[in-house]
Chain A
Amino acid sequence: MLEVNNIDTFYGKAQALWDVSLRVDEAEIVALIGANGAGKTTLLNTVCGLLPPASGSVEFLGQRIDGLAPHSIVELGISHIPEGRRLFPHMSVSENLEMGAYVHEAWKRKEETLRQVYEMFPILQERQGQLARTLSGGEQQMVAMGRGLMSRPRLCMFDEPSYGLAPLLVAEIFRIIQGLRDHGITILLVEQSVRQSLEIADRAYVLENGRIVLEGDGKSLLKEELIKKAYLGL
């Protein structure tokens, strides 16, 4: 479904990704793990068009998408739920969700999708008139996830969805992500909760200093010595 082939990405003159390749198949959960500054967010930003790669290619459903503007990439069915939620602070919860359905196809069905999102996160329906900046961290994350689903994506990319949340909420977020896959949405997940992501992931990639150093299925990576030492503290 998504194929990233040998990309190099730069921030100005500084190279952040080196010859990175990655594949996500339909209805898979693929986790991307690595230390801070390893290039996980950069990789997601490259796929969604915020940071075009200097070389290499990105293909989605067989079509080249590197070089397209972010708004065209959303239209093709990729939703990026960015790091730090990035809600529109002075808009209400329902307006934030509506913005998620901005692409034409999704806009036509936004009432229906909105109902589904409210079913998934009932608290958001109660808070629908409230300004996004007045919500708690957990509620903000729910708005960010709901907003990302409003475009009715085929592929969802989550960047640190559990960051800064209480353990109970973290478990909830992971449960929801698994539920999305059961509804046929493909997931690319960047997480710092390495153990939990590997437990739900079909496959995972480990990124170090801008390079992929390890890949494999989630369960077997959990037993890998490098992962145990570096990320699980065992």
Chain B
Amino acid sequence: MVTFLNVVIAGLLLGGLYALIAMGLSLQYGVARVLNISHGEFIMLGGLTTWTLYTAFDINPLVSLVIVGPTTFILGFIIHRTLFKRLLSSSTSPGIFESSSMLASFGLLFMIQNIASIAWGPEIRGYSYLAVPVHLAGAVFSANRLVTLGFATVIGLAFYLFVARTRLGKAIRAAAQDPATAGLMGVNINNVLALCFGFGAAMAGIAGMLISMCYPVHVVMGLEYTIIAIIVVVLGGLGSIPGSFIGGFVLGIIGSVVTYIDPGLSLVAYYLIFILLLLVRPTGIMGK
């Protein structure tokens, strides 16, 4: 029973990160219609930037949130404004935009990865922060992982409230459902799409910052997280932000259970779930 509880807690800790990453991709894919293959690269940028700030400038990783978050947001916003906005206006149909934007994001992956490898080199980087043991339900977890879960949950809930309650949040939902009609309501659609892309990038950057506190980070770490994010977004239901949030925790717990049985099998299990999901319920948990 105690072991079971441990596995679940470990799953929640992992799930918080997955939820944050997937919400970011959900904004980029669900609203801006960009299946952003370079999503994980923003995670990598967030992680390595946090590492540099901590080891070279002695800046507390949690403080670097206020640097990493806005920087990745601005980067995402500019990328949408320069690259994806142009692709969108030159695409004759939404389907064409989805495929051309995905290919473009593949290009972004290589560009960001190569620039990062010039800046940081191929070494695996890590540091120790808040690695103190905390006893919870009879098991020991390190404090930094609990902090990670706390941050991911707060950011997830705050964003959910933002989207559910505020004027801009409603514009985001309207744009996701019908961009042309949202424009007729007075929503500046290009701005909203760029904002969503920026928010998505910032969530990835912050997730990278949190990941760097618990796991080693390196230049080619991104793609694995991108794949996990895609699986969670499909699991939770395309375009559903609460779905991505819940889906993240579901996949985290599954991952934790599988890791308990055999650590090598977690990615295999994720793919298996992904394939089963596409066969049985392609609309996902909260799918419409």
Chain A residues with CB under 8 Å of chain B are 12, 48-50, 69-71, 74-75, 80, 82, 86, 88-91, 95, 98-100, 102-103, 106-107, 147, 151
Contacts and interface: CB of A to CB of B under 8 A. Distances in A.
Given A90-B288, A99-B171, A102-B171, A71 B177 contact: no
B173 A71 contact: no
A88 B187 CA distance: 13
Interface residues of B, number: 19
Given A71-B189, A90-B177, 11 more contacts: A48-B184, A50-B183, A70-B183, A71-B183, A71-B187, A80-B184, A82-B184, A88-B173, A91-B174, A99-B171, A99-B174
Contact of B185 (A12, A49, A100): A100
Interface of B: 92, 167, 170-171, 173-174, 177-178, 180-189, 288
27 contacts: A50-B180, A50-B183, A50-B184, A71-B183, A71-B188, A74-B184, A74-B186, A75-B186, A82-B181, A82-B184, A86-B178, A86-B181, A88-B173, A88-B174, A88-B178, A88-B181, A88-B182, A91-B170, A95-B170, A99-B174, A99-B187, A100-B185, A102-B167, A106-B186, A107-B167, A147-B185, A151-B185
B284 to A, nearest CB: 14
B173 A91 contact: yes
A99 B188 contact: no
Given A12-B92, A107-B167, A90 B185 contact: no
Contacts of B174: 88, 91, 99
Interface centre among B171, B174, B186, B189 (most CB of A within 10 A): B186
Contacts of A69: 183, 188
A107 B92 CA distance: 33
Nearest to B239: A90
A106 to B, nearest CB: 8
A70 B92 CA distance: 18
A226 to B, nearest CB: 33
Contacts of A12: 92
A71 B183 CA distance: 5
A95 B185 CA distance: 12
